[in-house]
Amino acid sequence: MTAIGVPLGPFLVLENGSLALRHTHNPPNYSFTWRDRRFGVSIHQDRMVLGGAVGRLPSTSSDGSQRQRATALLRALPRALPEGWRLQLLPDHRIRIEAEHVMHMPSTASALITPVVRLLLRAAPLMDLVTECGLG
């Protein structure tokens, strides 16, 4: 199948309805807010990278006991993440999760949305825990 189709943003809609990337050197990115948190998606030829900040570690100027609880939770979180997920503490104290999903282009719209929804559903209990511990 050739990549001749109708342009739709960063994609070409092919005759069979599947989507191909128009420019592989500049992958499509989009972001959205879910449960008051910002998430982002980057689509590449062979993978999709999804992630977002799920909370924030209190600064050193805040209540010491809250920071200790938050630090203990932060150390335990990697064991609670699904396999293949990464956890980062960003310089501004945000706690970020990230995952990759193997994909093949051309793809369908539902194949592009499904891993995003799956990440959000799997992240929900983690976000609840972070919020209950005062890091949301």
Give the pLDDT mean for 76-96.
89
Range 27-132: architecture per CATH: 2-Layer Sandwich (3.30)
114: pLDDT strictly greater than 70: yes
Q: Is the separation of the CB atoms in 66 and 136 below 8 Å?
A: no
Query: How far is residue 70's CA from residue 84's CA, in Å, rounded to a whole number?
Result: 23
Pick from 72, 70, 35: nearest CA to 52: 35
pLDDT at 131 over 80: yes
On whether the pTM is more than 0.85, the answer is: no
Length of the chain equals 136
What pLDDT band is residue 63 in, cutting at 50, 70 and 90? low
